[in-house]
Each structure stands twice: as structure tokens, then as C-alpha cells.
Amino acid sequence: MKILVTGAAGFIGSHFVRELLAGAYPGLGQIEGVTVYDKLTYAGNLENLAATSDDPRYTFVQGDICDGDLLDQVLPGHDVVVNFAAETHVDRSIHGPQDFVVTNVVGTQTVLDACLRNNIARVVHIGTDEVYGSIDEGSWTENEPLLPNSPYSAAKAAAELLVRSYFVTYGLNVSSTRCSNNYGPYQFPEKLIPLFVTNLMDGKKVPLYGDGLNVRDWLHVDDHCRGIALVIEKGAPGEPYNIGGGLELNNRQITEAVLETMGADWSSVQPVEDRKGHDRRYSVDDSKLRALGYEPQHKFADGLAETIQWYKDNEAWWRPLQAKAAIK
């Protein structure tokens, strides 16, 4: 099997590629080649793939998913395309939504068209639970309406609708995933956990939005990627799949866990004005994927401790990225 992975120099995509080449997903069969296709924007980092660069099955192509001509050059011979490529940071989408529409909507449409032209046998599009909006009680199934509340989630919802249309209209063998909040090593330092960890390492306060009671389901990147591999292998064409971590925590609880693990206290917290359109609670029902055999394997306390230790041990990785993480 030959797989092309867009956006694979980022946090989640690079983990998927590293694990794929390490043989972590036996259900996908023998991996003959993996092509990483990435534009290398501020969040794309080839150091995330340094462990795989000497593997003869690994190929890197620097490219934009909006470049259909380049995709047509690269795609022939691949069996599967996994589309991770996206602008992902909500705060950035509030300050500059156009990039999110171009990459997440036009880029997804360009990838889907290219997969059609090149007769790609299997396509999986990586989405987010943020497309559902906010839920006060209960959990979303995949049948819930998409009610996004930020430019980021709106662009991802538009991409999901395109995915559905390419299955219904053209018969493309495409499925999508909707994951909850990811954490783990190699996450870009603008995101909550690495931002808090690196700030505390530098003796800075950590910014906590509003009252800190916004709830998210937390998912280790390794569990997320195993869920994606399962969707590639067993997912039904045209179907979306929620991927959850099974643990809902509010931002105050996450903050307290990071503080405790790093030996700090609440005096290191700086309350800040709440984010515009800040969704109150996300909660996914991932029983549809669990019926295919999915089950999270990482306990949050262990995963958080290991993640914090990784950032302590890899300052040379994240230190150069701090300037890029600052929103202009």
C-alpha cells in the first residue's frame, strides 16, 4: 500500500506518519511507501519527521493542497490519501479568517478533485468536533447538525459538506473523522497545553480565558491516529466518524493538572478576556467508531505527564517556534 498524507509535517500528521512507518497499524497491511505532502507553513516542521527521513519508503514533497497541478503529478500510484492539511488555530481564524477558507475549504475541494482525477481508491479527510458548535448536555453523534461558531470551525464544516457531496455525487470512496481536543509531543506551542508548559518553564504566567469553565474532551494524539487508521481500514464510504478520548475536563481542571505536574500554583495563572464566540462545551459520542474496534489506550494523567516531560526534554525543538506562535 502507498499512502499520501497531506499536512504531515504538522503535529498530528507527523505522528501518524511516524507510527505508520513503524508498523503500528497492521490492519493497513504492508506499507510500501508514504509520501508527505506539506506546504511547510508556520506550523509545518520537518524536524517532526526526522525519525523517518532515512526510511527508503519515505518521500517528501513541498506543496500546497490548493495546487491541483502538483497534486496530479504526485498522486498517481498511491492507494490512499489522508488529508490532514488545514489551518487549525481558532484564535488565528478570528484575526484572519481568509486563510482558513482558502486552505480548509478550497484546499479540501482541490484534494478531492485530484483524487477523483487520479482514481485514488480510498480517501480519509481529518476534521474536528468543533463543527458541531456547542452542547450543554449529552454528546454529539455523527447525525447531529453542523452548527460551527468560529471561522475555523465554519471552514472545517464546509469541508465536511464537500466530502459528503463528493461521495454522493461522484461516488468517491471518502470518509471523514471528527476528533476532540488533541494533546501530546510535537504539538505547536500556541496550543493550550504546550503554551502553558513552555510559559511555566520560562517563569511566565499562563493565560486562562474567561472563567475557565469551558469543557473539552481530551484525546492523546496516538489514540487519535489509531482511530484514523481504523477508519482507513474499516470505515464506510461517505460516513463521518467521531474520535474521542473519553475524558471531559474544563480549562480550570487542565490548568490545575499542568500546574501540579510542574510544581506551580494558581499564582502562575493570569485571567484574560474570553475568546470571541468561545464554545462552552464539546462532547462526542464515538460509539460508531468503537463498534469497529476503537478504544483509547492512554490515560490522561500518564499522557499529560509524559507530554510535559517531552517539552522539558526537547527545548531545542520548541524554543525556535515561540516567535512563530505569537499571533500578530
The C-alpha cell that represents 223 in the structure block: 489514540
Crossing angle, helix 192-201 and helix 300-313, to 10 degrees?
A: 50
130 a catalytic residue = yes
152 contact partners, CB below 8 Å, separation of at least 6: 87, 88, 89, 90, 92, 93, 97, 100, 104, 130
- Of 64, 87, 129, 279, the active-site residue reads 129
129 a catalytic residue = yes
Strands (E), the chain: 2-6, 33-38, 58-62, 80-83, 122-128, 174-179, 181-183, 206-209, 215-220, 240-243, 248-250, 269-272
The C-alpha cell that represents 98 in the structure block: 481568509
- Of 64, 87, 130, 222, the active-site residue reads 130
152 a catalytic residue = yes
Nearest in space to 244 (alpha carbons), one of 156, 181, 160, 292: 181
Query: Would you say the C-alpha torsion 28, 103, 14, 289 has a positive or negative sign?
Result: negative
Nearest in space to 148 (alpha carbons), one of 136, 127, 125, 131: 131
Query: Reduced to 3 states, what is the DSSP secondary structure of residue 179?
Result: strand
- Of 37, 152, 186, 294, the active-site residue reads 152
Active site residues: 129-130, 152
